[in-house]
Structure 1
Amino acid sequence: MKLPGISIAQKLLLAMALTLAIVSVPVLFLFDWQTWLSGLSLAILVGAVILKLLTRNLFAGLQALESGLLNFKDSDFSTLLAYQNDDELGRLCQLYNQAAAQLRDEKQWIYQRELMLDKVLHSAPQALLLTDAQGIVVFSNHSAKALLNCEHNLEGMKLDKLAQQASPALHSALSEAVDGLFELHPEGADKQTWHLSNGELLLNNQFHRLYIFKQLTRELNRQEVAVWKKVIRIISHELNNSLGPISSMLHSGKILANKLEEARLERVFSTIDERISHLTEFVQGYGKFAKLPAPKLNPVCLSQLLSRLQSHWQFQCTQTGALPQSRQLLADAAQLEQLLINLLKNAHESGSDPDGVGIEVDFADQHALLRVVDAGQGMSEHIMANALIPFYSTKSTGTGLGLALCREIVEAHHGQIHLKNRPQGGLCVEVRLPLSAL
């Protein structure tokens, strides 16, 4: 029979009382019922005392076990049971202590993994957004906040509301929730190409949607430059194979022309020789771009490098801020010098007054910022959009490799290069290079 609401101690006491009453029924025929009732009461009282003494440790252990399981329910695994008797309850308490120790270790391990995962997700270059079934953001990393141009946390906000505040292209990508590419045009920055991938996942028995935004601008630029380099290597190889025999035949032709003493032939051969030299120099320039070696990174002192450049080029040099004590600029000094020479050469060829050419240096916690400025005519939007592409040039004698080589050097140093017109006139080429910890 099930007796709800009655404790084990009460059940044992009731069972003992019923047993004593049944056993003492024959005694009722020897004594009157009052005597029998008094004796039965005394027996039950003595039995209750003995039962309490015998079960005292048992119930103390059960209460401790109950408290421990309540702690388990609250995810607290730090409590251990002190009951150590060699009986069934003691073995049960021992199993409880072992389970508590194992769960405590696993909880600590999971906590460390969650910390590591949280750090990895927040420092990931991909922008991550996780929303629940109602479209409310439950997780976002720092890249997602930067992408949506929000300084506050995104958790708890509706994704639809965030999408309405975003750019049209980003709003369309979030609204359609279809995997694919889209482009952003940040104000005062180059065009950016992004890829969105999203999908549903089951988390805590509830459906969530994960959005992953990956910026492909640098990767696409890298692939584009790789294709250009391959084309350049092929063209250079074929031109070099042709220029060698032509130069040899030209030399033989000059010898024959000298014997004939024909002035017109000498002029023809001189012109051909001049064009061959120009073409050879042209091919060597392209080969230098196509075979740019990986930078050898060493600490670089910008002030010394700029002083060395000022002995060959005229420009004003200004510096804002100082290099942080715990940071240093690691770069290939030769490539960095070539980068600045190319930019200074373009600045002086822009029609700017030499006094209007300058290099501005600024330091932040994570990067060094170099701005090469001039007072020329600047660039149109069309020219600026194509200026960093190989072979593109607006100069009649240009090769279209100066700024392309600059971009290649900057990106090889994991930096960024950006062109923009100055409000007061002229062009500003902004180079951002990362600083490394000492």
Structure 2
Amino acid sequence: MRLRSLEVRLAVLLAVAALTGALLYIGVTHWPLPQILAWLHEGLKRSMRAPDRTDAVIICAIILLPLSWWFAHIVMQPVKRLLRALEGAVASYRDGDFSISIAVHRSDELGDLIRVHNELGQTLREQRQNLAQRELLLDTVVQNTPVALVLTDANGRVAYANIAARHLFNEGRSLSGLHFATLIADAPEALRKATEGSEDALFSVEMDGSEETFHLSQRAFRLQGRPHRLQLFRRMTRELSRQEVAAWKRVIRVVSHELNNSLAPISSLAHSGAELARRGTIERLPGVFATIGERAKHLHGFIDGYARFAKLPTPRVAAVEWKPFLDGLALHCSFQLHGHAPTQPGWFDPVQIEQVLINLVKNAHESGSAPEGVTLALTQVGHELRIEVADRGPGMSEAVLAQALLPFYSTKRSGTGLGLALAREISEAHGGRIALANREDGGLRVTLVLPQSAS
């Protein structure tokens, strides 16, 4: 126990008060007040009675009440000062001012409270300073990013906009407080339609005599309890051009590689055939011509595959009965139907979806899976049809999964890299999507999701 704690001080004051009361009671009832009254009686020759116990209690109360108030004042005065200081500090914290410190030095419990309060204030000041620095850094980054950023409130008025947004929408002038819909009222229709929706969009507009492509990202959230909308306008023309050039380079490399693989043996065989004909050894010519025809056929199939990918027609969506569709699919590839087909007809282009499923089932067999491990599952979920082709092969690595749907990407030596890309193109043309994932118990699952008619 500390010798200067509030508890010790209060105990000492109470002991002093008790001792004072006892001494006062003795002074009134025994000495010296009775002796003083006797002396006055003899000196003044007046009749004065000695105080009895009741009088003693009254006299003690009259003296002890002010003394008790003085003791209470001594005990509570530092507590009251501290409470007033804490009240002012809390009011400053509420107003966002964390610079208040209490300059009182005590070694008791109140001193501990003051020290903890000052440490709290120092921590809050440091956090406020760090937060201000991070906000400054974030604002600097946001203001100087080439992506145009516009934050609007529930009324559609601009609450925040960076430099790119000011140059894009208001010739470099501030956008704060302006109604964003009014601001873009004279903008190209493609931009206005994109901002009217709630989904991300890709649109092109005429700017400075050329076409500029933008990607719009939109998010709704609550800021300080109020709804806000964040819109990001990113110029994509340069990026799309770069991706287009990269795609063409990849096409050229793949086509060049395949052409060389076919034309080099054809040229060699043609030279060998000519030499055999010159020598009169004609019995080997049919084999030479057959090999040339085989390589030419392979080259024709390769070119035809690219042509079909580039000229994919618009899907002719129609109601498809499952039994004849699955029977026809079974003629081209073997699979195990997992579960039952939906009772309702499917809604898609049967020719294109059949081609997708043939490619997927073929890939499943080529993965090394056992034939009985290649399964096809059909599930109707709301207004979506889920088609899953699964196998029991080794699956794919994370790197391959990330690129498997890209055109011209293939892990096979003789692959064109168009099978999964064509499946993706067809699914997206139907308004659907395709996804690849490794199965937990081994193998790969390819999921094709197609929207269905609401009727």
TM normalised by structure 2 equals: 0.43
Higher relative contact order by CA 8 Å / sep ≥ 6: 1 or 2? 1
TM normalised by structure 1 equals: 0.45
